[in-house]
Amino acid sequence: MIENQKLVRIFISESGKWKNEPLYMAIINLCREKGIKGSTAIRGIAGYGLHNKLHTGRVLRLSGDLPLVVEIVDSEEKIEAILPAIDDMLDGGLITLENIEVFRQDREGNNA
Protein backbone atom coordinates (compact mmCIF):
# COMPACT_ATOMS: atom_id res chain seq x y z
CA MET A 1 0.00 0.00 0.00
CA ILE A 2 1.36 3.40 -0.98
CA GLU A 3 1.03 6.25 1.54
CA ASN A 4 1.49 9.95 0.90
CA GLN A 5 3.99 11.40 3.37
CA LYS A 6 6.28 14.42 3.78
CA LEU A 7 10.07 14.33 3.63
CA VAL A 8 12.00 17.06 5.42
CA ARG A 9 15.68 17.59 4.67
CA ILE A 10 17.66 19.79 7.04
CA PHE A 11 21.10 20.84 5.78
CA ILE A 12 23.42 21.75 8.66
CA SER A 13 27.06 21.47 9.65
CA GLU A 14 28.46 18.81 11.93
CA SER A 15 29.70 21.47 14.35
CA GLY A 16 26.17 22.80 15.04
CA LYS A 17 25.03 22.64 18.67
CA TRP A 18 21.75 22.93 20.53
CA LYS A 19 22.04 23.31 24.31
CA ASN A 20 25.48 21.61 24.43
CA GLU A 21 24.28 18.66 22.32
CA PRO A 22 25.16 18.03 18.66
CA LEU A 23 22.39 19.72 16.65
CA TYR A 24 21.68 16.65 14.54
CA MET A 25 21.16 14.53 17.68
CA ALA A 26 18.93 17.20 19.23
CA ILE A 27 16.75 17.13 16.10
CA ILE A 28 16.60 13.32 16.06
CA ASN A 29 15.80 13.20 19.79
CA LEU A 30 13.01 15.77 19.32
CA CYS A 31 11.57 13.63 16.52
CA ARG A 32 11.61 10.55 18.76
CA GLU A 33 9.95 12.45 21.61
CA LYS A 34 7.19 13.66 19.27
CA GLY A 35 6.54 10.19 17.81
CA ILE A 36 7.78 10.97 14.31
CA LYS A 37 7.97 7.85 12.10
CA GLY A 38 11.65 8.20 11.25
CA SER A 39 14.68 10.47 11.08
CA THR A 40 18.24 9.88 9.96
CA ALA A 41 21.41 11.98 9.98
CA ILE A 42 23.63 11.55 6.94
CA ARG A 43 27.22 12.86 6.89
CA GLY A 44 28.40 14.40 3.64
CA ILE A 45 31.93 14.13 2.33
CA ALA A 46 31.96 17.66 0.92
CA GLY A 47 29.61 20.58 0.47
CA TYR A 48 28.99 24.29 0.78
CA GLY A 49 26.03 26.50 1.51
CA LEU A 50 24.85 30.10 1.47
CA HIS A 51 28.21 31.56 2.55
CA ASN A 52 30.15 29.57 -0.08
CA LYS A 53 32.46 28.07 2.58
CA LEU A 54 33.65 24.63 1.50
CA HIS A 55 33.34 21.86 4.09
CA THR A 56 35.31 18.74 3.25
CA GLY A 57 36.70 15.64 4.91
CA ARG A 58 39.92 15.39 2.95
CA VAL A 59 42.42 12.93 4.41
CA LEU A 60 45.12 15.58 4.90
CA ARG A 61 42.85 17.70 7.03
CA LEU A 62 40.91 16.62 10.09
CA SER A 63 37.50 18.15 9.79
CA GLY A 64 34.92 18.37 12.53
CA ASP A 65 32.67 20.51 10.39
CA LEU A 66 31.42 18.22 7.64
CA PRO A 67 28.03 18.86 6.04
CA LEU A 68 25.10 16.88 7.48
CA VAL A 69 21.61 16.24 6.23
CA VAL A 70 18.90 15.19 8.67
CA GLU A 71 15.98 13.51 6.89
CA ILE A 72 12.60 13.18 8.57
CA VAL A 73 9.56 11.29 7.23
CA ASP A 74 6.00 11.39 8.52
CA SER A 75 2.54 12.70 7.69
CA GLU A 76 2.10 16.30 6.59
CA GLU A 77 0.28 17.11 9.85
CA LYS A 78 3.05 15.76 12.10
CA ILE A 79 5.76 17.46 10.03
CA GLU A 80 3.96 20.81 10.13
CA ALA A 81 3.60 20.46 13.90
CA ILE A 82 7.31 19.83 14.51
CA LEU A 83 8.82 22.33 12.04
CA PRO A 84 8.57 25.42 14.30
CA ALA A 85 10.54 23.66 17.05
CA ILE A 86 13.20 22.57 14.56
CA ASP A 87 13.40 26.05 13.07
CA ASP A 88 14.01 27.48 16.56
CA MET A 89 17.02 25.15 16.94
CA LEU A 90 18.78 26.42 13.81
CA ASP A 91 21.09 29.42 13.53
CA GLY A 92 21.53 28.75 9.83
CA GLY A 93 21.15 25.94 7.40
CA LEU A 94 18.44 25.04 4.94
CA ILE A 95 15.16 23.16 5.35
CA THR A 96 13.41 21.62 2.36
CA LEU A 97 10.06 19.82 2.14
CA GLU A 98 8.97 17.25 -0.40
CA ASN A 99 5.82 15.26 -0.95
CA ILE A 100 6.75 11.59 -1.18
CA GLU A 101 5.05 8.27 -1.63
CA VAL A 102 6.09 5.59 0.85
CA PHE A 103 5.85 2.13 -0.64
CA ARG A 104 7.21 0.07 2.23
CA GLN A 105 7.45 0.48 5.96
CA ASP A 106 8.24 -2.10 8.59
CA ARG A 107 5.11 -4.22 8.54
CA GLU A 108 5.40 -5.26 12.18
CA GLY A 109 5.61 -1.73 13.53
CA ASN A 110 9.22 -2.25 14.66
CA ASN A 111 11.90 0.35 14.05
CA ALA A 112 13.96 -0.44 10.99
Ranges of H-type helices in the chain:
23-33, 76-89
Sequence spans of domains, the chain: 3-102
Report which of residues 19 and 61 the model is more confident about: 19
- b/e burial code for range 41-68 (CB count within 10 A of at least 16 → b): beeeeeeeeeeeeebebeeeeeeeebbb
Report which of residues 58 and 81 the model is more confident about: 81
pLDDT tens-digit profile of 10-52? 999 888 999 999 999 999 999 999 999 999 999 887 777 777 7
- b/e burial code for range 12-29 (CB count within 10 A of at least 16 → b): bbbebebeeebbbebbbe
pLDDT tens-digit profile of 63-103? 567 889 999 999 999 999 999 999 999 988 899 999 999 98
pTM for the whole structure: 0.83
Q: What pLDDT was estimated at residue 61? A: 52
Q: What pLDDT was estimated at residue 60? A: 45
Top-tier CATH class for 3-102: alpha beta
